[in-house]
Amino acid sequence: MASVTLDSITKAYGDEIAVEDMNLEVRDGEFLTLVGPSGCGKSTTMETIAGLTQPTEGTVYIGDRDVTNLPPKNRGVAMVFQNIALFPHMDVYDNISFGLRLRKYDQDEIEKRVDRAAEIVQLEGMLDRMPEEMSGGQRQRVAIARAIVRQPDVFLMDEPLANLDAELRIHMRTQLQRLHRELDTTVIYVTHDQAQAMTMSDRIAVIDNGHLQQVDPPLTCYNAPDNLFVASFIGSPSMNFFHGSVTDDGFDSEFIDLGFDPEEVGATPGKDATLGIRPEDVYLKRDSEEATVPSDTIKAHIDVLEPMGDEVFTYLLLEEDVETSAEGRGEGQLLLSLDPQTDVEEGQDVEVVFDRHEAHLFDSASEEAIAHSLA
């Protein structure tokens, strides 16, 4: 086990800055996930830790060792990638043990490690299979076992489940959590899929455009996002946003107004602000007792219902002639999540409230959070 520290890491490819001034401390034994949209710099960060790329500026520490200039094999890390490259002409045993054989470990030690790794990823009894005789998930487990036998201080996994189908991905998610518990090793995991980030991690590091946005436990990022990017990226479907301004006695926007004492929530009258409300914090007025502190009533019109089985995503228009676009939810739209038992239909007029206790306010200019409750 070891901690990993990135100290002011910048990586530029010519004019293109992939990662800028990143400071991150991954704790010993922690499962930390780098999450963010495609191209935000996750893989670059991983490759810098692994030693597959040199940072333009900054220092990488594993434990207290400055490893910035060490080759990958001397860093005590093992990496699992999205595209697993198994040797097609070798069976599972030979694939898993390849690195150890190359390093001339003795036969008993190799066997011991391979057996143990196969047990952890549940490949016992398949050691003599060839890769072509295995499913995608099984092959991915071989790749993980190959990393396990190296007994690294730090596991690096870059989108290891991205090529698997949805069901297998969810299954492997659980497996990886067990693996982490079992190995008691530091794991740094990369995904663009926030469901993986939320479910597996001790903490997530949210990255946008080469910049670290927030490093916190998943639920902290969900309940108290530091800024508009984290608020919109974490949570699916995403938060509803309303752009307006802070007044002397609350918040004003085209469709939603809200009374509060600006001083009490730390907002400045006259400033542009954005109100954020998650779909599950909006209720039909008749269910308003479910909100800790219900807002004033909002009149709306049901546009589209999307039954998901366990909930119904309900898209509302806040005025009849609101323009909708394919680009996503606009200002005059509000999404709420309803219980499937709820008796509503498309085209119906409804009255809704949201929970002021769960309402978020952001500074529109800086995009930083101002408050996570407007009760």
DSSP 253: E
Q: Is residue 39 near ligand ADP by the rule CB under 6 A?
A: yes
Q: Is residue 44 near ligand ADP by the rule CB under 6 A?
A: yes
Say if residues 86 and 52 touch (Cβ distance below 8 Å). Answer: no
Nearer to ligand ADP, 191 or 337 (CB): 191
Nearer to ligand ADP, 15 or 310 (CB): 15
Q: Is residue 41 near ligand ADP by the rule CB under 6 A?
A: yes
Say if residues 4 and 62 touch (Cβ distance below 8 Å). Answer: yes
DSSP reduced 3-state for 207: strand
Q: Which two tokens stand for residue 56?
A: 């333009």
Least CB distance to Mg ion at residue 82 (A): 8
| Distance in angstroms (rounded) separating the CA atoms of residues 42 and 204 | 12
Least CB distance to ligand ADP at residue 30 (A): 20
User: Which partner, Mg ion, ligand ADP, none, binds residue 336 by CB below 5 to 8 Å per kind?
Assistant: none
Say if residues 237 and 244 touch (Cβ distance below 8 Å). Answer: no
Nearer to ligand ADP, 36 or 160 (CB): 36
What residue number has its CB nearest to Mg ion?
A: 43
Least CB distance to Mg ion at residue 242 (A): 33
Give the binding-site size for ligand ADP (rule: CB under 6 A).
11
With b for 16 or more beta-carbon neighbours within 10 A and e for fewer, the 10-26 pattern comes to bbeeeeebbbbebebeb
| Distance in angstroms (rounded) separating the CA atoms of residues 130 and 145 | 15
Using the rule CB under 6 A, which residue among 38, 289, 310, 345 binds ligand ADP?
A: 38
Q: Which two tokens stand for residue 35?
A: 């999450």
Least CB distance to ligand ADP at residue 139 (A): 22
| Distance in angstroms (rounded) separating the CA atoms of residues 32 and 291 | 33
Nearer to ligand ADP, 212 or 277 (CB): 212
Closest CA to 22 of 38, 10, 5: 10
Least CB distance to Mg ion at residue 81 (A): 9
Using the rule CB under 6 A, which residue among 18, 78, 277, 359 binds ligand ADP?
A: 18
- Which residues of this protein are in contact with Mg ion, per CB under 5 A? 43
Write out the residues near ligand ADP by the rule CB under 6 A: 13, 16, 18, 36, 38-44
